[in-house]
Amino acid sequence: MSDLPQRIIITEEGPREGFQIEPGPIRTEDKIRFIDLLSNTGLSRIQVCSFVSPRLVPGWADADAVVAGFTPNDSVDYTALWFNQRGIDRALTFQNKLTLEGSVHLSASEPFSISNLNRDRATNLEKMREQTKAHVSADIPTHHITLMAAFGCNFAGDISPEQVVATVRDGVDAGLAAGTSITSVSLCDTMGWANPSLIQRVIGAVRDAFPTLQVELHLHDTRGLGIANAHAGLQLGVTHFDTAAGGLGGCPFAKHKGAPGNIATEELVLLAEELGIHTGVDLDALIDAGQFAESIVGHTLPSATLKGGSLNSLRQNVS
Amino acid sequence: MSDLPQRIIITEEGPREGFQIEPGPIRTEDKIRFIDLLSNTGLSRIQVCSFVSPRLVPGWADADAVVAGFTPNDSVDYTALWFNQRGIDRALTFQNKLTLEGSVHLSASEPFSISNLNRDRATNLEKMREQTKAHVSADIPTHHITLMAAFGCNFAGDISPEQVVATVRDGVDAGLAAGTSITSVSLCDTMGWANPSLIQRVIGAVRDAFPTLQVELHLHDTRGLGIANAHAGLQLGVTHFDTAAGGLGGCPFAKHKGAPGNIATEELVLLAEELGIHTGVDLDALIDAGQFAESIVGHTLPSATLKGGSLNSLRQNVS
């Protein structure tokens, strides 16, 4: 376990990811309150919204109001997601509150690209080249690849490490063509296909091909292996993870209703801190925020730590 | 990962563990149907009931009827739990269907022993010596220690590997005093305190002190680290695990309502099979049984795989 990092950086995606799958409308003020609670947990990165078409994603029709409404904490970087020029333009109006970062969104799976992005991989790559150029023109730093379906795909089955490496190469080249250098890639287990051995193989292959690229993990807990996979990543020295408080978000690709989506922030924080890895996060404050999220959505969230509670609070009672 | 075993043996504890925490009465015929479904999944060991006082555990007042009612599969060992002579006597009447195995139940934590077993560790050890003698007299093989709170305790805080080793020694000595040899020990993470590094340290300490003892794991998922802990066990070559289909059972020691109890059988089977470790279990049949359990208890169970579905069924659709 000698490669365990000393500290990790968690990007909290609960506010952005968490509410768009919920059937009922979530009140703007509740989204804002949730972000404000998360801002005071010690998290250093929070993704607060998607600037997407209100027609396609009605749950984010209030993205601008949410960003305008939350109270920023100086020690937190607030990020947002967008997929087109209109989104870029909306994000640019909030440069005072948001840390704008572009990403090259790619899928390792052809059928997932078609079903989820509504275009094949070649067409998407062309679109990403254009968007990266638009980012460069707008002075939005774009040094990152978000690589979906990196460990398997409900529509394509297993994804080979070679497919992942080829997709990273596409992204790196798209960056170069747009005049920017790619320095990091998030490998996303979008549909919950990873296992700890596969994490090792895929990260190993990407690092072999791109030794200077920082490999980050965006894991889903669709089938319950998410935290074991995160641990495999920690053992390989991975320092950047995306998570969602409470395990907010759910999975649209599960066989049966109710499967988890992103790994729960509480569970990763607990794992890391118990292993002696610094997260900067106050787990009890995070659990309070997660319980507020549960009250907003009106149903139980997947995070076990949210219910089990922190160990440090019990240790304090004992001593 | 060279120590991964080729195959593992899972003891399914869902029927025994799963229904006693449920608020509503579970119909005897539903318990029987659940056991019959599990019997045809490829599981080789199923713990079907507790022979305990109906006054203390009303949910198991029908233990005798359940055992009388299920249809045994020749390739499955059916086990049961008991805590006193009355329980032994009830179990002995079902020697035709049950594989009777005694266990020395010990707690590594003094306050857990007092709060959960209603007696301190010394008194409990004396009681276990007597019960082991009773097992020997009744020709019930007793070669196993069930060691509770082996990784931490809500009432005592952290538990040191030395406390675990000392407790194993108590159990081995109790066996010898009763004229039987202890050959295996289940380390139980009763309140969900373990993490992968701690699993390594505690198993290492027990193996150092008792090199010929088989170390088994009974893990809880109270805070979401259960499958990562199971993976740590697999990497150390652990071959015997206790689990509960669907994650049935829940946790009476959680801070907030709804925390998981035993790790979910589906999740361990998925993890093992994806790592190339043979379990003998048909995951899709197991998911069907888990969904039946969910319908019995009338609420969502913690297992993520139960909702996410198997990967092999998706692979088959692709090819």
Label residues A267-300 b or e (16+ Cβ within 10 Å = b): bbbbbbbbbebebebbbebbbebbbbbbebbeeb
Q: Using an 8 Å CB-CB cutoff, list chain A residues near B315.
A: 157-158
> What is the spatial order of strands in the sheet that B45-51 belongs to?
B77-82, B45-51, B9-12, B240-243, B214-218, B184-188, B142-148, B102-107
- Smallest CA–CA distance, residue A95 to chain B, in Å, is 37
The answer to whether domain A102-215 has CATH 3.40.30.10 is no
Beta-carbon contacts of B96 under 8 Å, excluding residues fewer than 6 positions away, are none
For the domain spanning B1-100+244-319, the CATH number is 3.20.20.70
- Residues of chain B with Cβ-Cβ distance to A260 below 8 Å are 304, 307-308
**Edge-to-edge strands of the sheet including A45-51?**
A77-82, A45-51, A9-12, A240-243, A214-218, A184-188, A142-148, A102-107
* Chain A to chain B Cβ contacts (< 8 Å): 159
- Residue-wise pLDDT tens for chain A (319 aa)? 458 999 999 999 999 988 777 777 899 999 999 999 999 999 999 999 999 999 988 899 999 999 999 999 999 999 999 999 999 999 999 999 999 999 999 999 999 999 999 999 999 999 999 999 999 999 999 999 999 999 999 999 999 999 999 999 999 999 999 999 999 999 999 999 999 999 999 999 999 999 999 999 999 999 999 999 999 999 999 999 999 999 998 778 777 778 889 999 999 999 999 999 999 999 999 999 999 999 999 999 999 999 999 999 999 988 6
Cβ–Cβ contact B286 with A under 8 A = no
Which of A230, A275, A313 shows the shortest C-beta gap to B197? Answer: A275
Which residues of chain B form CATH 3.20.20.70? 1-100+244-319, 102-221
Residue in chain B lying closest to A273 (CA): B195
- Please give the ipTM for the structure prediction: 0.96
CATH fourth-level superfamily of B102-221: Aldolase class I (3.20.20.70)
- DSSP assignment of B282-318 equals -HHHHHHHHHHHHHHHTS--S-SHHHH--HHHHHHHH
Q: Are A304 and B270 inside 8 Å of each other by CB?
A: no
Chain B neighbours among A 13-52 (CB < 8 Å)? Answer: none
Mutation pick from B307, B318, B319 vs chain A, by most beta carbons of A within 10 Å, is B307
CB contact under 8 A, A308 and B224: yes
The nearest alpha carbon in chain B to A227 belongs to: B228
**Taking CB atoms and an 8 Å limit, are A228 and B271 in contact across chains?**
yes
Question: Are the Cβ atoms of B231 and A231 closer than 8 angstroms?
Answer: yes
At B73-102, the pLDDT tens digits run: 999 999 999 999 999 999 999 999 999 999
Residue B289 touches partner A, C-beta closer than 8 Å = no
- Looking at CA atoms only, how far is residue A201 from chain B in angstroms? 12
Query: Running DSSP on this structure, what letter comes out for residue B186?
Result: E
Is there a contact between B308 and A256 if contact means CB atoms under 8 Å apart?
yes
**Catalytic residue annotation of A:** 251
User: Which part of chain A is CATH 3.20.20.70?
Assistant: 1-100+244-319, 102-215
| Tens-digit pLDDT profile for residues B143-154 | 999 999 999 999
DSSP letter assigned to residue B6? S
- Does the annotation mark B251 as catalytic? yes
**Is A223 in the B-facing interface, judged by CB distances under 8 Å?**
yes
